[in-house]
Structure 1
Amino acid sequence: MRAIRAASAALLGAAAVVAVAPTALADEGNHDVTSFGFSVSPATVAPGGTVTLTSDGCEVPSVTVTSGVFETVTLAEGRAGTATVDFDAKAGTQYEITFDCKGERGTTKLTIAQGDQGGNRPEHDNGVSPGAHKGVKAGYGTTAASGSTPEGLGATEVVTGALLIAGALGAAVVLTRRRAAHGRP
Structure 2
Amino acid sequence: MRAIRAASAALLGAVALVTVAPLATADDGDHDITSFGFSVTPATIAPGGTVTLTSDGCEVPSVTVTSTVFETVTLSEGRPGTATVDLDAKAGTQYEITFDCKGERGTTKLTIAQDDTTGGNTGHDTGTGTHTGAHKGVKAGYGTAASGADADGLGATELVTGVLLIVGALGAAVVLTRRHAGGRA
TM score, norm. by length of structure 1:
0.56
Report Cα offsets for 1:129-148 as digits up to 9, x if no partner.
xxxxxxxx7979x9973635
Q: CA deviation at 1:167?
A: 1.3
Counterpart amino acid of 1:24? A
Counterpart amino acid of 1:14? L
Match of 2:169 in 1: 169
Give distance in 2, aligned partners of 1:162 and 1:15: 12
1:112 aligns to 2:115 (yes or no)? no
Report Cα offsets for 1:92-136 as digits up to 9, x if no partner.
43322233456x36241323055459xxx5366969xxxxxxxxx
Counterpart amino acid of 1:52? L
Match of 1:81 in 2: 81
Q: Once superposed, which parts of structure 1, at least 4 consecutive aligned residues long, lie more than 6 Å away?
A: 124-127, 137-140, 155-158
Match of 1:12 in 2: 15
CA contact (8 A) 2:24 2:154 kept: no
Counterpart amino acid of 1:45? T
Closer/same/farther in 2, CA of residues 16 and 182 from structure 1, 3 Å limit: same
CA contact (8 A) 1:40 1:53 kept: yes
CA contact (8 A) 2:55 2:63 kept: no
Give distance in 1, aligned partners of 2:111 and 2:97: 12
Q: CA deviation at 1:180?
A: 4.4
Counterpart amino acid of 2:168? A
Counterpart amino acid of 1:95? Y
CA contact (8 A) 1:98 1:105 kept: no
Give distance in 2, aligned partners of 1:17 and 1:37: 27
Give distance in 1, aligned partners of 2:124 and 2:37: 28
CA contact (8 A) 1:24 1:158 kept: no
Match of 1:24 in 2: 26
Give distance in 1, aligned partners of 2:109 and 2:124: 22
Q: Where do 5+ consecutive residues of structure 1 fail to align?
A: 128-136
CA contact (8 A) 1:69 1:95 kept: yes
Give distance in 2, aligned partners of 1:111 and 1:156: 25
Counterpart amino acid of 2:54? L
Match of 1:71 in 2: 71
Q: CA deviation at 1:65?
A: 2.0
Give distance in 2, aligned partners of 1:6 and 1:29: 37
Q: Which moved more, 1:154-163 or 1:66-75?
A: 154-163
Match of 2:45 in 1: 46
RMSD: 4.7
Q: Where do 5+ consecutive residues of structure 2 fail to align?
A: 134-144
CA contact (8 A) 1:50 1:122 kept: no
Q: Could you say what secondary structure the match of 1:24 adopts? A: coil
Q: Percent identity?
A: 35
Give distance in 1, aligned partners of 2:172 and 2:69: 52
TM score, norm. by length of structure 2:
0.56
Give distance in 1, aligned partners of 2:101 and 2:90: 28
